[in-house]
Structures are given as structure tokens and as C-alpha cells.
Structure 1
């Protein structure tokens, strides 16, 4: 890393804080016009966590970070206009999110890493594997949308009429916990909705070009259809598919589907660790 690249790293009270007996480092990095927020937990091979639309690190991954960080260095990010990362005068795109994460990892002097993307984060992980294959070891898609027909038709009608008042209250609360920007929640909501309305299919040839070992995880009552996950599984050469009982993100304790009686054993961490530790054939 060049000295000027190092200077792009803005440390924000890098003092360690405890989270479920873990040490956590947090900071900001100058990334393509953003001050991009990230958190780092644990030691070991790096695993990058990519949140979904309308979410923060904690609203998607708070329950599983302590489990994953027992054996891994976990790098969790917040993307443009989400959580503690500021906005810029551009629409959200999965391609730009992929480029932003690639730049962040370069700033942090990290080379080949594993990625776990949840929901929209899964689509971003797909774009990282397509656009930046040199930095990808393995990817986990939990799940990912690659085609408009991967969700029921009424999903698109809902997105066209999306209103902030209909956003899950848990996600609103999670945003306000970490951001004090008065208009930020509305901006995040509107840009996320527009991105989905404008979503275009990822071409088959790009999906088939993915060389990284891939694990696709989907709930049997997910937003994305099991048929779509199966199609992606057939297209990505080195891929595995797990269909888990439950709703969208229930298998990782995502905040809107988390049940009061959920336990560590309900989450799919052993499945993820087995996949990440498996040697390539």
C-alpha cells in the first residue's frame, strides 16, 4: 500500500470495545467519495459480511458475528447511505457497492478473502465475484437475486409503491441507533427502493463465469424463490445449495425474523464453517 493510500484510512476511536466477549475495532475509510464505516472482529482468515437493503451491520449480523469471529477475522461493512456510512450524489447500484468493498479491502491491505452477503448483500457478493475475482476466495449468498423472476411478481409492485411508513420498525430503530442524520433514513429507503425498481437481470454468461466456490443459502419461506436459488446453483460451476426451514434471514437471526426463543443452535454457522474450511477439490 502506498503512503497516500494509507492516509486514506481514517481511524475513528480505534480503541477496542467489548461485544459478547469479543474485541472490536471500528473505523472509517475514504472509499470512492464515501467515508465508509467498517468493524473488525476476531482473528484468522478474513470473512467479509455484506448487509442487505435498509440494514446495518447489527440488524443483520449481530447474533452471528460472535459465532463467526471465534475462528475468523470478521470484517463487517456498511454501504453507501446505510448506517454510519454517508451518502453521495449517485443512485445505489450493486456494481458500485461491489467496487466500494473492493476499494475498502485494498485500503485495509487485504488480498483474497471470503464473502458472506445477505439479501441485497448477496447480490453485491455476486458482483464482487464477477467484477473483482482476484480478491475472492469463497462466497456465501444468503440468498442473492440475479433475475427479476427470482421473486414473486407482487414484489415488484410493492417496490414501486414503497413508502417509509411501511418499512419494518426494527430496521428504522436499528438505523436511528447508529445514525443522527435527520434525513438519512428517508434517503436510504428511497434509494434502496429505486435500486430494486430499476433492477436488471444479471446475464447468464456472467453468473456462469464465477470461479469462486459458492454456497447458496435460502429459507424455504424466503422472499427469493427456491427455484431461483436452484437455477443459480446449476449455473455457478463450483456451488452448493442449502434450503433451510424458515423465512428471510431467520437462519442468521436477522432482526425482522428473529424469534424470541432463538438459540445459537438455530443458526447455520456450522454449515458455513464447514463450507469455508473445505479444501478446494
Structure 2
């Protein structure tokens, strides 16, 4: 007869980034616990549960974390903003790897870290019984929680890239992450992350992150781009999304069948 669960497993993503081991990820924006559970067994190292550009609230995230719990991937919750209240609620329901968008400076990076630490090291609000500490069953959780919390910050503008070394040097930042779409927009190339100017900035950021020993990640929905980013030196790369898989797979399947039975292809309105 087994006893109560009184510990939490190590954060495999945090450990892998510390050891500079490449990690393959996927973006999840469909806000579904069923989709999360399907993805959990696919073999990814990390899966982003998005709340910035997906309509997930805290209850939705909770159900997705439950769906991912039995798989091998570390859930990474992208918070809607660098907000201590949002982060506190996500941490309490069991998120322990957070991706914080639009971090522009070392000061903003410090604020993100502080939101994940209990006093005196930060400002995380204290609850003694929640899902993250197995509802009060994990001894000394308040003093050890930060050891398994992974803080990743998104750099999405030229201002952020200029401060890369300062942001990377902040104690508690486990990795930096390039947001290619917003970066392209900031460079004046909205919707064109493949523009040479944007790609040159991404390559420069990768080289600079490597020079200071900080893991750097990126989202790359195109497989060829993902391969190139890994070769470039990126440590963790999201190689697609659940939306992209469903959209492309469903469109291509019906197109192939229409071709097979001799029907004309249907033009899809966008």
C-alpha cells in the first residue's frame, strides 16, 4: 500500500537547459485538455500552454496541465504578461516553467524572477495548500520551490536584443527566447520573419547568448527553419503548433482526396 505523494519530480527542462542539451518543443493554443493529453505522449521535451495569444484562463490552463501530467514533456506556460498576479495564480496551480513575453530590460527580467520567488527573495504570494505543493503535502515547499521553477523570457524587439547580455545576467533567468513575429514587426517587416534583416538579428542574438553561456530558444513552425536554428546553436526550439498541425493536416487530407476522386480543389477564403 503506497502512501501520499510528498514530493515533486525534478524539472527536466530546467536541468537540460543548464546542461545545454537540445530540447524539442511544441506550441499548444487549442485550449483543450484532450489535445494536451494527446500531445503528452508524442515525445516532445517541452510543450507551451499559451495564454498570451490563446483564450485560456487559469481554469483552462489547469485542465491542460492535468492532461500533460502523465506525459514526458515539461509544460511551459506562456503568461499573458509580465504580471506578478497572473504568475502567482499559474504557479499555484502547478505551472513551474513560465515563458514571460515582451521583456525589454534587466529590470523587467528581475521583476519576472521576483514573481516566482517567495519572500525574502521575491514577492510571490504565499498559500500553504495548492496543487503545486500537492495540496500541502510537500514538506519545505516554501523554501525549495524555486529550485524547480524555470523562468524563460521573450525578447521581441530591437530594444530587448540590445539588452540581451544584461537580461541574460539576471539571477534566476534560465533562458532567453526569441519571438520572431514580433521581432519582425519591430524591424518594420510585419509578417515576414524570414526577412534577411530579421534573420541576421536572430543569428546575432544566438551568438551573443552562446557567448555569455545562456540557453536561447525560438519558435520555428517551418521544419527547415527549426533544423537551421538548432544548427545555429539554439538550445530549445518549438518546431510547430497544435493549430498548425490540425490546420495543415486537415486541409491537405481533403485536398488529396478531392484530387484522388477527380474533383477540383476548393479555394479557401482567408
TM class by shorter chain equals 0.3 to 0.5
Greater helix fraction, Structure 1 or Structure 2: 2
Give TM-score, length-normalised by structure 1.
Answer: 0.33
